[in-house]
């Protein structure tokens, strides 16, 4: 097959398998399998694919037809302009989470410069939040914690690949974290248990349930972390969460009941509630 013919075949195959946006995925997987960007592929479009490239492309399409996420097939995802390794052991970084990263970076920028700001990323997963904060706030002391050793290995690799300094701790939430921080950020599991079977196949079958399941009402980790967070925050420190689109008011109340003030709910690019932050006064 030529490159053009291969992409047409792949688009039809992905569409028949019910893959959302099959044309886009067919093009992106062609770039991955061939090692060529879109511009080069347009030039080479009518040329015959080398056998090795075609075999790799067919295998990538086969995986995508089984609903393995495109990012897991390619082994990478992009977040805040940085590249991150991903696998089935971590959630794939999503654009919505950039709202949380940007909010944290904005707060860090308002601290006085008489000392380094300390940040804890709880439930770090791929490390996308911790690494992004360390990258864009170079003088910040960043610690990242996760219960999963497999996730931590990937997060450490991502910190090294992006040349950032992050300290990693294997911990079940705050269990092995004695210090206090100026800022705690977290994208905890927040999907209601009963809703997980209804998620897209890419998510429910290929991303870690440990990072998805927030308990019967999706609020388990918000309650637990918020209750314990004051003991790990310096006076005036802030707690920031990513939330589900319908959890803004519930999480705001949880922070309020635990003594946090100046609570804000921030919206994502679609105008939906996405981040809740509050200060320990």
Instruction: Kindly state whether residue 71 falls inside one of the protein's structural domains.
Output: no
At residue 207, the pLDDT reads 95
Among 43, 66, 89, where does a domain finish? 66
Question: 265, 212 in Cβ contact below 8 A?
Answer: no
Among candidate residues 91, 103, 97, the one with its CA nearest the CA of residue 184: 103
Among candidate residues 254, 253, 247, 237, the one with its CA nearest the CA of residue 275: 247
Are residues 52 and 112 both part of a single domain?
Answer: no
Are residues 108 and 220 both part of a single domain?
Answer: yes
Are residues 144 and 272 both part of a single domain?
Answer: yes
Are residues 23 and 138 both part of a single domain?
Answer: no
The three-point CA angle 269-275-276 to 5° equals 150
Instruction: Identify the CATH number of the domain in which residue 130 sits.
Output: 3.40.50.150
Q: How far is CA 125 from each of CA 60, 92, 147, 223, rounded to the nearest angstrom?
A: 25, 9, 9, 20
Per residue of the chain (281 residues), what is the pLDDT tens digit? Answer: 899 999 999 999 999 999 999 999 999 999 999 999 888 888 888 899 999 999 999 999 999 999 999 999 999 999 999 999 999 999 999 999 999 999 999 999 988 666 789 999 999 999 999 999 999 998 899 999 999 999 999 999 999 999 999 999 999 999 999 999 999 999 999 999 999 999 999 999 999 999 999 999 999 999 999 999 999 999 999 999 999 999 999 999 999 999 999 999 999 999 999 999 999 98
Instruction: Kindly state whether residue 125 falls inside one of the protein's structural domains.
Output: yes
The Cα 232–Cα 181 span in angstroms is 6
pTM, 2 dp: 0.92
Instruction: Kindly state whether residue 73 falls inside one of the protein's structural domains.
Output: no
Check residue 198 and report its DSSP letter: G
Show contacts of 52-55: CB within 8 Å, 24+ apart. Answer: 54/1, 54/6
Are residues 186 and 268 both part of a single domain?
Answer: yes
Among 66, 90, 114, where does a domain finish? 66
Under DSSP, is residue 78 helix (H, G, I), strand (E, B) or coil? strand
> Structural domain of residue 251, as residue ranges?
79-280
Are residues 9 and 127 both part of a single domain?
Answer: no
Instruction: Kindly state whether residue 192 falls inside one of the protein's structural domains.
Output: yes
At residue 281, the pLDDT reads 84
Are residues 53 and 178 both part of a single domain?
Answer: no
Instruction: Kindly state whether residue 74 falls inside one of the protein's structural domains.
Output: no
Kindly provide the residue ranges of all beta strands, DSSP E only, lying in the chain, ordered along the sequence: 76-79, 82-85, 118-122, 141-146, 166-170, 181-186, 233-242, 260-267, 273-280
Instruction: Kindly state whether residue 72 falls inside one of the protein's structural domains.
Output: no
Are residues 207 and 108 both part of a single domain?
Answer: yes
In total, how many domains does the chain have? 2
């Amino acid at each position: 097959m030529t490159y053009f013919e291969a992409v047409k075949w792949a688009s039809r195959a992905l569409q028949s398998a019910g893959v959302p946006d099959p044309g886009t995925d067919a093009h992106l997987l062609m770039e991955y399998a061939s090692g060529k960007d879109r511009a080069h592929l347009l030039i080479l479009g009518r040329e015959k694919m080398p056998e090795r490239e075609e075999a790799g492309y067919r295998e990538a399409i086969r995986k995508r037809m089984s609903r393995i996420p495109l990012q897991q097939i390619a082994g990478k995802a992009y977040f805040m302009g940085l590249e991150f390794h991903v696998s089935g052991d971590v959630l794939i970084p999503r654009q919505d989470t950039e709202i949380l990263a940007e909010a944290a970076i904005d707060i860090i920028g308002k601290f006085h410069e008489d000392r380094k700001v300390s940040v804890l990323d709880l439930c770090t997963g791929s490390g996308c939040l911790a690494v992004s904060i360390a990258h864009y706030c170079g003088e910040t002391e960043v610690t990242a914690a996760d219960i999963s050793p497999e996730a931590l290995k990937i997060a450490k690799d991502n910190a090294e690949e992006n040349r950032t300094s992050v300290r990693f701790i294997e911990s079940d939430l705050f269990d092995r974290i004695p210090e206090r921080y100026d800022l705690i950020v977290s994208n905890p599991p927040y999907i209601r248990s009963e809703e997980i079977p209804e998620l897209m196949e890419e998510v429910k079958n290929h991303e870690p349930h440990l990072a998805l399941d927030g308990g019967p009402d999706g609020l388990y980790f918000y309650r637990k972390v918020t209750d314990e967070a004051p003991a790990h925050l310096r006076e005036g420190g802030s707690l920031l969460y990513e939330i589900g689109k319908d959890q803004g008011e519930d999480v705001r109340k949880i922070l309020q009941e635990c003594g946090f003030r100046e609570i804000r709910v921030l919206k994502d690019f679609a105008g939906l509630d996405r981040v809740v932050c509050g200060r320990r006064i």
